[in-house]
Amino acid sequence: MIEIVIIGQNEGKHIKNMLNSLFPYDYKRFWILDRCNDGSVIQLSNAGENYIKTPSEWKGRKTSSVRNLGLSKCDPEADVLFFDGDRFPVSGDLTALEKWDKDIALLMCEEDVRDSFKDNFQDYYRTINNGFYSCGIFFKRHAINKIIEQQGELFPTDVEQWWGVEDVLLGDLCYRLGVTADLVPGIRLNGKIEIKPIEKEGQNARLGKLKKMWE
């Protein structure tokens, strides 16, 4: 059983495309709207979708918190596929995930920096970066449970204010726990992924967190 969590902050212009791309699949969906004021609520309400609004008093970047909130609404036995609101599938068959032979599936975008190492991802998975971009990521339930048992939550919230750091920490933890992951062939999401610079404070937080995990 697969359930889908879609997060977004004022991504209303992509809702129609996301719905159209997911229409062929009989997967339950949960939309988590992070302080949206662009009419997303109206669109989803009219479409009969399940949606949750995050607290208006939240401040700053809350990507991990939003994903964890979505996970809390899923069936505790379900595998979970996470999408960013603007990363709707444009090619491939999502049912391939039902027979995926790894614990985690990383979905790629139309233009994706990971194309350069997709053929040797298993070697790259041993590095500090791990190639974990969470805009499209699928977890089998036993992997979710293993991660939560280790760190108390699926996506780390203590560094979520820095772009990409939470993905690095999650990837590193998964590797150290023996959780298997790979890039999915054949499925592509809208848009592109580029490597963005991580602020000095974010870098320090990343290394500090990793050092603590390694001790």
Instruction: Give CA–CA dist 140/51, Å, rounded.
Output: 23
The residue among 18, 68, 71 whose CA lies nearest residue 43 is 18
- Residue 209 has what pLDDT? 53
Instruction: Give CA–CA dist 175/210, Å, rounded.
Output: 12
Tokens at residue 169, please? 């920490």
Element (H, E) at 67: helix 63-72
Per-residue pLDDT 10s for the chain (215 aa) are 999 999 998 888 999 999 999 999 999 999 999 999 898 999 999 999 999 999 988 988 899 999 999 999 999 999 999 999 999 999 999 999 999 999 999 999 999 989 998 999 999 898 776 778 899 999 999 999 999 999 999 999 988 888 778 888 899 899 999 999 999 999 999 999 876 554 555 555 555 555 555 45
Instruction: Give CA–CA dist 128/107, Å, rounded.
Output: 19
Residue 86 phi, psi (nearest 5): -100, 5
Instruction: Give CA–CA dist 24/46, Å, rounded.
Output: 19
Residue 192 bridge partners (DSSP): 111
Write out the residue range of the structural domain in which residue 29 sits: 2-214
- What CATH number is attached to the domain comprising 123? 3.90.550.10
Q: Strand 136-139 vs strand 181-193: parallel, antiparallel, or unpaired? A: unpaired
Question: 64: how many CB neighbours lie within 10 A of its CB?
Answer: 23
Which pTM does this prediction carry? 0.91
Write the DSSP string, 144-212: HHHHHHHHSSSS--TTTTSTTHHHHHHHHHHHHHT--EEEEEEEEEEEEE---PPPHHHHHHHHHHHHH
- Residues 193 and 93: beta-carbon distance below 8 Å: no
Q: Strand 2-8 vs strand 79-84: parallel, antiparallel, or unpaired? A: parallel
What's the structural domain count of the chain? 1
Instruction: Give CA–CA dist 195/184, Å, rounded.
Output: 19
